[in-house]
Amino acid sequence: MIDYIEGNAILVLIYALVALSLNFQLGMAGLLNYGQIAFFLVGAYAAAIVVQHTDPGWMELLGIPAGAALGALMTLPVRRLSQDYWWLVTLGVAEILRLFLESEEGIANGPSGVVGIEPLASQGTYLWILAGIVLLSAIASERIRRAPYGRALRVLREDEAMASALGRDVFSLRLRVMMLGGAMAAGAGMLYAHYFSFVSPDQFTSGETFLIFLMILLGGQGNTLGVLIGVVLVQTTSEATRFVAQWVDLGSDRIGNVRLFVYGLVLVLVILWRPQGLLPERKRRYRDRRAASSTAPSAPNGEGALVAAQEA
């Protein structure tokens, strides 16, 4: 039982990484990336291919820059198109990549996939390592949210023309957020491959991207804690339906369909009734320190008087 709970916690943490990586694009920059799973796939296959060819183990780390490169590549075709085409291109890239690996037997055994990817640590230790990585990622995404970069991404989401009229290179900002999201999701894919020890194309369908979307939209776009809550909610309910399947006499494939139906319904209801998600994006409040600097010129810390821009 402990094993089972640990295993689920590990999956929650891996999904959390992917959701946080998509949140930069979807929640902050407003980019509808329906192909996020492709980055995850790149990372997982980097691990799988290295196992196959018994190259030195660290080589699989190349999956992370490969994820970033794929992010950059996805940005190119939409360079001159509006944001509305983003989902089409990203979905297309993800599906092409998956189908390519499925039909090309030479790279990673095609549809049968790769087995025997070795775990990096015992399950208990791995859980703590992952928890640490997720914590660091959450801190990183909070820092980005509060930084000028995060603000620029959110402005981009609202009004591109204004951003470029004020000297912002819209393409470069998007390129960098795609590379960031790509690298992070590829890292998550690697960690996933080492946990699951088996990688095959059908683990990376667009349905997975849909689940991550649901996590973010339910939890709250642009809110780090909200996204994490969304991940826990969706992943645990998804797991819980297995028990439901045992109680009611339904086949497991049919339960899977019912689950998808319910998730779709939840998604529609969230968009209709609570578009901002359970935890809405937090307002950044700036602290006005002007009075302090003018009325207290003899303050012990002269520079400190100018410190501003703090979260309320």
Chain contacts with other proteins (rule: CB under 8 A): 140, 143-144, 147-152, 154-155, 157-159, 161-170, 173, 176, 180, 281, 283-290, 293, 306-309
Q: Which of 281, 50, 29 is nearest to 176 (CA)?
A: 29
Distance of closest approach, residue 308 Cβ to other proteins, in angstroms:
4
Question: Which of 102/142 has CB closer to other proteins?
Answer: 142
Question: Which of 6/160 has CB closer to other proteins?
Answer: 160
Distance of closest approach, residue 135 Cβ to other proteins, in angstroms:
14
CA dist., res. 66 & res. 44, Å (int)? 11
CA dist., res. 115 & res. 208, Å (int)? 21
Question: Which of 145/194 has CB closer to other proteins?
Answer: 145
CA dist., res. 36 & res. 40, Å (int)? 7
CA dist., res. 277 & res. 37, Å (int)? 22
Question: Which of 144/199 has CB closer to other proteins?
Answer: 144
Question: Quick one: three-class SS letters along 7-29?
Answer: HHHHHHHHHHHHHHHHHHHHHHC
Distance of closest approach, residue 299 Cβ to other proteins, in angstroms:
15
Q: Which of 110, 126, 130 is nearest to 118 (CA)?
A: 126
Cα separations in angstroms, 136 against 12, 96, 133: 15, 32, 5
Question: Which of 143/254 has CB closer to other proteins?
Answer: 143
Distance of closest approach, residue 239 Cβ to other proteins, in angstroms:
33
Question: Which of 98/145 has CB closer to other proteins?
Answer: 145
Distance of closest approach, residue 208 Cβ to other proteins, in angstroms:
25
Q: Is 140 within 8 Å of 227 (Cβ atoms)?
A: no
Distance of closest approach, residue 287 Cβ to other proteins, in angstroms:
8
Take residue 101 and report the two structure tokens written for it. Answer: 């690996």
CA dist., res. 278 & res. 223, Å (int)? 9
Question: Which of 6/281 has CB closer to other proteins?
Answer: 281
CA dist., res. 98 & res. 41, Å (int)? 8
Distance of closest approach, residue 47 Cβ to other proteins, in angstroms:
25
Residue type at position 107: I
